[in-house]
Chains A and B, each alone.
Chain A
Amino acid sequence: MSTDQGMLWEVFVQAKPGIPHKHAGSVHAPDAEMALKSARDVYTRRREGTSIWVVPANMISATTEQDADSFFDPADDKVYRHPTFYTIPEGVKYL
């Protein structure tokens, strides 16, 4: 087996100020500092980012595909959470 590749880190890049960080991929590194430098070289060679987050991959918890339907179904029958659910008389403004 080749030598230790270091921990796996998931990389999130913010493309410009004011917008959310978006998942870009992953890198291997022994610590956060090297993970950030590596992420810069791998994912922002053309100024694609103004900020980078790296997160140890094993610290991310995620919903599973199999359970997605039942997990999200509480939101299915609550159309009244959307503004379009409500009837507003013709001509009434700013609502």
Chain B
Amino acid sequence: MDIAEKEKQFQDKIDSGQKIEAKEWVPENYRKQLIRMISQHAHSEIVGMLPEGNWITRAPSLRRKAVLLAKIQDEAGHGLYLYSAAETLGVERGELIDQLITGKAKYSSIFNYPTLTWADIGAIGWLVDGAAIVNQTMLARGSYGPYSRAMVRICKEESFHNRQGYELLYDLAQGTPEQKAMAQDALNRWWWPSIQMLGPSDADSKNSGETMRWRIKVESNDTVRQRFIDRTVPQAEAAGLTIPDPDLKFNEETGHWEIGEIDWTEFYQVIKGYGPCNKKRLRARQEAEHEGEWVREAAKVYAEKQAAKKTKAA
């Protein structure tokens, strides 16, 4: 069977809604696009622990602290589910981690923003995880089985992240004037980056055509973004917080909330490495890799010694 025939069979399978599984024949670019997407996604989960980790020691109560710890541990788990899914495409985990710590790989631009106040922890759970859920629910319907199953699992766990963040911010918004101002300030700073994290608008998205034809993505960035906006605006209202967009209005005809223009210059600046925390995030990952090295080495030597003992005994 020649390549053209194989590609046709592959496309037919995708069009009929079947999942593609590990080790099946796939077009080289399908494999590459997926490795790119899944590894960026995995890196985002791992780097995403850093802005939140910043507040563990300063959580205002034991309850909030336990919740934050559990949430960050989930993010580590999500990173690992995703590396595991990427590996089914024949790439080594070590290679992916190298790409991250050498600065070759991208991760979600939003994690290059700092967490300046405790309210930012609420904003991340509510907005960043809220946007991630909408995106990941879409990706869960995608064509690659291992990625889609990782998404289903992650979405279930994200729901807790989303709710704890909203609860945190809602409580602040019902508190003293200073607490309410802190909540509003967090919303002001995280709103637009959350809108942007769902990716370039459809007109400028260079990977969209192919990824949609292969059902790696089943909806466009703008469609997913609109869903996030429609869900989130009423949640802000319920908390008595104001979305920082003077042009925001409800369109009675379409039933959708319409936002003002998105500042894409900022988005691309941050992606290119000029966000407020890009260097810091990269350095933290490099240090983690370096400082964990002796643990991995020790574990390896221990495993070898145990195995040798067993062979001797036998």
Kindly identify which residue among A6, A31, A42 contacts B81, using a CB–CB cutoff of 8 Å.
A42
A34, closest chain B residue (CB): B299
Binding site secondary structure of chain B: helix
- Once the chains are docked, how many angstroms separate the CA of A64 from the CA of B296? 34
Contact B21 A31 (CB under 8 A): no
Interface residues of A in 27-44 (CB under 8 A from B): 27-31, 34, 41-43
Interface residues of A in 20-75 (CB under 8 A from B): 25-31, 34, 41-43, 45-46, 62, 64-66
Contact A30 B300 (CB under 8 A): yes
B274 located at the interface, meaning its Cβ lies under 8 Å from any Cβ of chain A in the complex = no
- Once the chains are docked, how many angstroms separate the CA of A20 from the CA of B97? 34
A1 located at the interface, meaning its Cβ lies under 8 Å from any Cβ of chain B in the complex = yes
- Once the chains are docked, how many angstroms separate the CA of A55 from the CA of B184? 50
Contact A30 B299 (CB under 8 A): yes
- Once the chains are docked, how many angstroms separate the CA of A56 from the CA of B224? 39
Kindly identify which residue among B23, B98, B293, B307 contacts A1, using a CB–CB cutoff of 8 Å.
B98
A84 located at the interface, meaning its Cβ lies under 8 Å from any Cβ of chain B in the complex = no
Nearest chain B CB to A15 CB, angstrom units: 13
Assuming the contacts A25-B81, A65-B24, A66-B25, asked whether A5 and B303 have C-beta atoms less than 8 A apart, the reply is no
Task: Point out the residues of chain B lying under 8 angstroms from A66, CB to CB.
Answer: 25
Contact A2 B23 (CB under 8 A): no
Kindly identify which residue among B77, B150, B296 contacts A3, using a CB–CB cutoff of 8 Å.
B296
Contact B150 A25 (CB under 8 A): yes
Nearest chain A CB to B100 CB, angstrom units: 9
Contact A31 B306 (CB under 8 A): yes
Contact B296 A4 (CB under 8 A): yes
Kindly identify which residue among A3, A8, A45, A46 contacts B293, using a CB–CB cutoff of 8 Å.
A3
Contact B300 A41 (CB under 8 A): no
Kindly identify which residue among B84, B94, B303 contacts A27, using a CB–CB cutoff of 8 Å.
B84
Kindly identify which residue among B85, B157, B296, B307 contacts A31, using a CB–CB cutoff of 8 Å.
B307
Task: Point out the residues of chain B lying under 8 angstroms from A34, CB to CB.
Answer: 299, 303
A-contact 0/1 string along B141-163, CB 8 Å cutoff? 00000000010000001000000
Contact A64 B306 (CB under 8 A): no
- Once the chains are docked, how many angstroms separate the CA of A64 from the CA of B23? 7
The 4 residue pairs across chains A and B that have the minimum distance between CB atoms: A31-B303, A30-B303, A65-B24, A25-B84
User: Could you list 15 examples of A-B contacts with CB < 8 Å?
Assistant: A2-B94, A2-B97, A3-B94, A3-B293, A4-B296, A5-B94, A5-B296, A6-B303, A26-B87, A27-B80, A31-B306, A41-B77, A42-B77, A64-B23, A65-B24
Additional A-B contact list (17), CB under 8 Å, known A25-B80, A25-B85: A3-B94, A4-B296, A5-B296, A6-B296, A6-B300, A30-B302, A30-B304, A31-B302, A31-B303, A31-B306, A31-B307, A34-B299, A42-B77, A45-B74, A45-B77, A65-B23, A65-B24
